[in-house]
Chain A
């Protein structure tokens, strides 16, 4: 068999390993093996590429792999689970940038040869450049927002929107010119610059609480960028792998949107949550939120038979995942049935809360979804809301005029008792008041989530 055929078959095999690997991610028992299978697929693809005759020297390859491998290793080993969204954003950005640079290099090679560029190659290169650049700069802004370097508020300004539209049209025009008329490097670099700015404008317009959607969408883009690089190189292995990731990101994006009952366009362009506090008066005097202290909370929890914890982003901020598990263990030891109900958009990326709870050794079986809990909510003695707000807001169900109307919620207000651990009565990300706080069967525990859970656990020990 000729060498190119062997290499092509190796790419096919590696794509098959990716598919098998992702398939195994559907259960926690098979998932680690699936991930390793995908890693083997990647190793195979790299090994096959090194056989390619185009490769003349290995010095720079060794330098690049050693440097990248070391950085990747350190990042993966040291990142905190609460910071996982930032890290995935960075990796998305790097993947997008790598794909984009492959397209840039191909354009430079073609233009260096001086031949006219074929339309096929040109379109692939332009698509790769645009998607790669937008993915890179967008992911970097997402990282900045998640890390708190850039303000998490949605930056919305009609002028910026016009600039974004002009840039988008301009880069499309430039792409058409480059492919159809002439490869002018000045025009090409302008296109790269415009695409980078476009990525920044795209993400700064989106608020912190909508980050799960953005991270998922950028994940999809990084896959599409890899596919585009595959079209540039005429490599089906890249096309398949990129398409898998593109599909994965799209599915997660649509799941996140559905979990908020909002369209993707609404998430991307509506500046949701930027007008914080305006509607959150809480001034009507007849509504009283009843507060509760650790001892009484412990009493209620300790003598309950079914308890559901509802964690939100506040749990991650307070790093309280271990504290919640310690409390749950004490309760379990007393014969209390404990589960955790995680809303799909809780946290800053899909599945974020589940990872934190898994880190704290919460058994996989105790993690459940709103649909598992809501139908039998009346049987739940206590629903404990920790650092979540909008996802338990009954207005989503009761008030069709509410901004979050129709968003599926965890209906804690239907539990026999609900306890909300929160710093204050302030509104959540959506900027709207939460009537749950004022229900007769609700108690407010004011304080930091980690301290509150620790104090309650101490009291439970005394029972």
Chain B
């Protein structure tokens, strides 16, 4: 096992613990926005898609990258926007 993989595993395990800590504090009422919001975060693979498309090593790779990029962007943009839409509904009552 190389150093890179090992560091990656360290990061992964520690991040899981951080995730458990912060997410258990989210009340059940907000679980749907939590899901759609965290879902948008899982669209982080947009980073990988950008690299594949941008490098454009072959036409096949470009198409694969483009498909990944479109889906990841839908996930990110749609996910954050719909989460915002839901959260505005939860918030509006406090004001009026």
Contact = CB atoms under 8 A, between A and B. Distances in A.
A112 interface: yes
B77 A73 contact: yes
Contact of A28 (B19, B44, B56, B91): B91
A213 to B, nearest CB: 12
Nearest to A370: B28
A238 B28 contact: no
A233 B74 contact: no
Contacts of A69: 73-74, 77
B15 A255 contact: no
Interface string B46-90: 111111111111101110111111111111111111111111111
B31 A22 contact: no
Nearest to A121: B5
Contact of A36 (B8, B18, B28, B84): B84
Interface residues of B, number: 86
Nearest to B71: A94
B65 A60 contact: yes
A35 B75 contact: no
B-side interface mostly: helix
Contact of A67 (B17, B70, B93): B70
A222 B42 contact: yes
A84 B36 contact: yes
A61 interface: yes
A-side interface mostly: helix
Interface in B1-50: 1-2, 4-5, 7-8, 11-13, 15-20, 22-50
A23 B22 contact: yes
B2 to A, nearest CB: 5
Contacts of A247: 15-20, 23
A366 to B, nearest CB: 9
A112 B72 contact: no
B29 A81 contact: no
Given A42-B80, A64-B49, A97 B68 contact: yes
A95 B72 contact: yes
Contacts of B83: 35
Contacts of A387: none
A87 to B, nearest CB: 7
Contacts of A34: 37
Interface stretch (A304-312, A352-360, A415-423, A454-462): A352-360
A270 interface: no
Interface in A312-349: 342, 344, 349
Contact of A239 (B15, B36, B76): B15
A95 B42 contact: yes
B32 A54 contact: no
A4 interface: no
A386 B62 CA distance: 51
A351 B77 contact: no
Contacts of B43: 42, 91, 94-95, 98, 226
Given A55-B54, A61-B54, A248-B23, A216 B2 contact: no
B64 A245 contact: no
Contact of B34 (A76, A92, A248): A248
B30 A54 contact: no
A72 B78 contact: yes
B87 A236 contact: no
Nearest to B15: A243
A226 B45 contact: yes
Contacts of B69: 60-61, 64-65, 68, 98
Q: What are the 4 A-B residue pairs with the smallest beta carbon separation, nearest first? A: A68-B73, A247-B19, A55-B54, A351-B31
Interface of B: 1-2, 4-5, 7-8, 11-13, 15-20, 22-58, 60-62, 64-94
18 contacts: A38-B41, A76-B81, A95-B39, A98-B71, A102-B45, A102-B48, A215-B35, A216-B35, A226-B42, A231-B8, A238-B48, A244-B38, A246-B19, A342-B28, A350-B31, A350-B34, A350-B35, A364-B90
Given A241-B42, A248-B35, 10 more contacts: A26-B25, A38-B40, A39-B40, A68-B76, A94-B75, A234-B8, A247-B15, A252-B35, A350-B34, A363-B93
